[in-house]
Chain A
Amino acid sequence: MARYILRRLGYMIVTLFIIATLSFFLMKMLPGSPLNAEDKLSEEQKAIVLEKYGLNDPVPVQYVRYLTGLVQGDLGISFKFDNTPVTQILMDRIGPSALVGFQAMVIGTILGIALGLIAAVFHNGFLDYTSTIIAVLGTSIPSFVFAGLLQYVFAVELGWFPVALWGEPEHTILPTIALAITPLATAARFIRTEMVDVLGSNYMLTAKAKGISQAGRVWKHGFRNALIPLVTVIGPMAVNIMTGSMVIEQIFAIPGIGEQFVSSVLVNDYPTIMGTTLLYAFAFIVIILIVDLLYGLIDPRIRVTGGNK
């Protein structure tokens, strides 16, 4: 087990290195420059400013400097926010995104699982169709429509929740619901499909013959088996949701990282774009490792071992 984790950590470093390299060179292909007044300066004046950013150096030199900083945990200084380290921007911004994302993941997944279970147990019944409709709506309505609708109905019309802004716990409610719809729909769909499968299998019949109650059968034998595919998709989805949604953050005026990422791209703030990409990648591979380890816990038949099979 320890060897396995060590080896995976090794792969993680290689993956991060590749992603850092790719994003660095993709950045070089972005049109424009990080200058704001570029339409007002002569070529010569532009060169003087770019000198300060180190952008006049040959690309390999910039690349080595970037990697050297990266190894030391230095993501560079933002081009847009003068003299502000990218790490500070990420730290300031990740909090709100992670909080709303975490709430949405927990609520969405739990509600989704409940919905999926109900649908499976009442297969082809009224409750099944209801929960399937909710799940389909949840996957098909674009988040900006859903978020806008929530804002309009519950904040503007009914006045139950704040319209937007950030600071108090109540500010997180509508964005959490808006974000929770995705994990909810996904969980419901996966759990329902798997449970319907599992509940119809032979060993469930055996369990029933042994006299185990339905609740016991569903929880102990069915649910655990149905969880595997869900865990696979939920992991990466958690990263997605907790690193912020540009749309939701913009609509509810949340100072999160998703919105920051998009605005950095628009102004060619290279260090911030790369820093955010790396943060995202890092979270992603960590979660994938955790998911792989979870497989073993959920289903002991799946063993994670190093080398010898």
Chain B
Amino acid sequence: MKKNKWSLLLAALLLVSTVLAACGGGSDKSSGKGSKDSEQVLRLMNADQIPTMDSSLATDTFAFQFLGESMEGLYRLGKDGKIEDGIATEHKVSADGLTWTFKLREDAKWSNGDPVTAHDFVYAWRRAVDPATGSEYGPYMMGGVIKNATAVNKGEVPVEQLGVRAEDDYTLVVELENPTPYFESLTTFGTYLPLNQKFVEAQGDKYATSTETLLFNGPFTLEKWTSTSNKWELVKNKNYWDKDSVKLDKITFVVVKDPQAGVDLYDKGQVDRAGLSSDLVDMYSSNDDFITIPQANVFYLKLNQVRNGEKTPLANVNIRKAIMMAVDKEAGVNEILNNGSIAANGLIPKDFVKVPGKDKDFRAASGDLAVYNKEEAKKYWEQGLKELGVTSVSLEFLGDDGENAKVFNEYVANQLKTNLPGLEITIKNVPFEQRLDLDTAEDYDIQFSGWGPDYLDPYTFLSLWVTDGPNNHMGYSNPEYDKLLQDAQTTLANDQDKRYEAMLQAEKILLEDAAIAPIYQRSLALLSSPKVHNIIANQVGADYEWKWAYIK
């Protein structure tokens, strides 16, 4: 009996070992796979796939990232937002600021050998606003800028009437709706990239769904890619007009979504950079390879003055001022985010644009307009309560449930409750999409929200709160603010000094009204190999520029 039992156990163990042996077949091949020393290879991770490479349809950060590196528009953004030559070598602006004439280089080629011409820009821009294309960024980036863009998109005039034409193969003439001083920086954006009509039309529905269905004219070509790939490469483009400036031979990418796994791969030396989520920052902030990259994304509280047709307590300016001053932002960014993010005491981010003629950062010129001050906040609060004739106020705090968001929302709400006696706050964290829905419906009291710029001009932020603007959604209206911004886009558009004065004034009004409560300006924390040099972090468009990067 005993013997039998053991023979059974033996049989079971045999079964187990067979299975174990079967799965032990793999051998470790990962080491020594690196490339030759002479070859410049950068190994990076991407947090998601590239959903499309169609510049007219692109909407997400990764699409714009890889479009930016594999294609080239009229201009390219360099270090500190400096505009560098692209396909255009120079341009002239007419006296009224409405007609821009670009001279294109004649040595730029598509990866199939075709020359890049002015016709490629005309085709691409028309395609971006053509309603049949169904582009989201086309009407957004071109509407109100290029003549007739909005009308074409609505189908009111034929697409041929869009204000762009090729005077000859290498001269592009653009007519604008209003003088647009930041048009140069707009032309670096993905939606403005040229397209080779013959190639795009030959690909039909398949265009830009894989490497084979794409043409490139940028510093790199995108290789081994399909829209569902998890790995791909950027390879130095031998046909690029400025190939001598490109040092890297290759950049490899693999999709890794889990930040911990990313950091582990970095520790094992398999990748050269890894992003850090806030829970990882504490562990790695003393690491030699730890760096932070300041961004131009600003986060703030939207204070809704009208909800469901009725005025909220936030319609009272003293209540809003109290809220704007009641949050200790320094402590929030240092203790909770701890990734280099800084407290925002205004709307326009630091190091984003300079005030022309003064060589002074916009933020510095404008000063601290919304600072934390517990005592002042309390005074405004009591004044506000008195005006409303109440002793307490309950507000709903709407946030989304993204990474960091929950903890940070808790913190902000708690600061408000502590510093403003009689304030009750209910936090409502919902998925991002739902927050946008509630925002559109203006169905919230306080909302934690943020904005990233689309071009290098304060207008990209300030335009958010013009009366009934598509992003206002909080019942804010100040005719003086509206007037200043309208002037900035029309009468003052050709006078940069006055224009910036108007925008500085507008920001002041916005925060005197305490229309919003700025909280912080974001930084990204990451681990970056000391061998890697000269990766430029852009404020708009593609997040990173690798054209001039090298390994040493």
Contacts and interface: CB of A to CB of B under 8 A. Distances in A.
Answer yes or no: do A and B interact.
Answer: yes
Interface in B1-19: 1, 4-5, 7-9, 11-13, 15-16, 19
Given A37-B59, A114-B12, A118-B9, A176 B23 contact: yes
Contacts of B264: 151-152, 155-156, 163-164
Residue of A82, A84, A266 ringed by the most chain B CB atoms within 10 A = A82
Interface string B163-201: 000000000000000000000000000000000000000
A88 B11 contact: no
Contacts of A53: 134
B104 to A, nearest CB: 28
B257 A84 contact: no
A215 B208 contact: no
Contacts of A267: 433
Interface stretch (B49-57, B71-79, B354-362, B535-543): B49-57
Given A122-B5, A164-B264, A164-B265, A49 B134 contact: yes
A235 interface: no
A255 B49 CA distance: 10
B26 interface: yes
B261 A251 contact: yes
A93 B456 CA distance: 39
A51 B431 CA distance: 25
Contacts, number: 187
A170 B8 contact: no
A33 B134 CA distance: 14
A214 interface: yes
A151 B260 CA distance: 10
A308 interface: no
Q: Chain A interface residue count: which class? A: 35 or more
Nearest to B58: A82
B433 A215 contact: no
Given A32-B437, A48-B131, A118-B9, A165 B256 contact: yes
Interface string B443-459: 00000000000100000
B270 interface: yes
Nearest to B13: A114
Given A38-B436, A41-B470, A53-B134, A214 B8 contact: yes
Given A40-B470, A251-B261, A83 B54 contact: yes
Contacts of B133: 52
Contacts of A155: 264
Contacts of B437: 31-32
Contacts of A214: 1, 4-5, 8
30 contacts: A31-B431, A32-B434, A40-B471, A41-B140, A45-B153, A48-B131, A51-B131, A52-B132, A53-B134, A81-B49, A81-B52, A81-B209, A82-B51, A82-B227, A103-B23, A110-B19, A122-B5, A151-B264, A163-B268, A165-B265, A166-B230, A168-B26, A170-B27, A170-B28, A170-B29, A172-B26, A215-B4, A218-B8, A252-B261, A268-B433
Given A31-B431, A106-B19, A164-B256, 8 more contacts: A82-B51, A83-B206, A83-B207, A114-B13, A164-B265, A214-B1, A250-B261, A251-B258
Interface of B: 1, 4-5, 7-9, 11-13, 15-16, 19, 23, 25-30, 48-49, 51-52, 54, 57, 59-60, 131-137, 139-140, 143, 153-154, 205-209, 226-228, 230-231, 254-258, 260-261, 264-265, 267-268, 270, 430-434, 436-437, 439-440, 454, 470-471
